[in-house]
Amino acid sequence: MTPDASDAALVDGFGRQISYLRLSVTDRCDLRCGYCLPRGFKGGEAPGDWLSFAEIVRVVGAFTALGVRHVRLTGGEPLMRRGLPDLAASLAALPGLDDLSISSNCTRMAAFAEPLRRAGVRRLNVSLDSLRPEVFRAITGGRLAQVLVGIEAAREAGLAPIRVNTVVMRGVNDDEIEDILAYCIARGFTLRLIETMPMGAGRLATPAHYLALEEVRRRLARRFDLSPDLIQGGGPARYDRVADSETRIGFITPISRHFCATCNRVRLAVDGTLHLCLGQEGAYPLRALLRAGLDETELATHLRRAIALKPKRHLLRERLGQVGRSLSAIGG
């Protein structure tokens, strides 16, 4: 039995309709980004505690029956989950799902771009925090050249739009944002700059590395002709169009100018925990319920109960450096 169509909407206690699910398919990653993984991170959940593909499809199907229209595959690094194109194909076939996208570091994208496109993935967000090989390695521990090859493979496979996500860190990469924007302009990519969020125990997730993006925007405006713009499905970013190009630049400002009033998303971790806010600790465990044999009506009821617990706003600004949960634990 599925929820009645008249009830097919997830609305939290503050009137926000939840239409976007970020789905972490693994907590493993082949990079070690200093703002994401805690110091000394050795691993995550045991694979036996991961949701199976069948469980994932069931939960996502329950979400789409309740009005969720956009699912983004995340990790860790989602391409580390074996058989991911098969899962993507099953999700893309769900009734009501309009948009299946992926966030990736693109280290493995050269092998997966075509299979993902055939499976129904349409859009890509790629993490790219530096175009300087030595800085990229210092931030991530990885090889920049491998990532750039993966991004090009995604473009050739037809994944579009491609959005480059750059976490701006004072004293680390804040002096090369103009170069990253020029890279995006040359390829028709969208650039999204993200304020460092001082949460978890990552070596770069500290207040010392935080930089308000309004300062960065003023600097960019001295070199590039920027004008305010809107972008469909642009999420929490505030966008400018770069004159004489197809490129937009988005500013995601969870600290300096939060966007909680329009938050339409929740995050499902690989262990079946539903996280209701990136910057608060509240969560709703689903794995044990799924494995206890609840039916579809009961699952829908639990999803509604969870959404009712979504807080009005995060407290990242008030609690700089005090939110203990790392980004790697919940899919960013």
Q: What is the CATH number of the domain that holds 324?
A: 3.20.20.70
CA gap 179, 224 in Å, rounded: 12
Containing domain of residue 140, as a range?
5-329
Q: Which of 84, 172, 97, 179 is nearest to 136 (CA)?
A: 172
Helix or strand (DSSP H, E) at 332: none
Please tell me the predicted confidence (pLDDT) of residue 280: 73
Name the domain count of the chain.
1
Vertex 45, ends 286 and 311: CA angle to 5°? 45
**What's the pTM?**
0.92
Q: Which residues of the chain have pLDDT under 50?
A: 1-6, 321-322
Please tell me the predicted confidence (pLDDT) of residue 324: 52
Longest dimension (CA), the chain: 59
3-state SS of 231-242 is CCCCCCCEEEEE
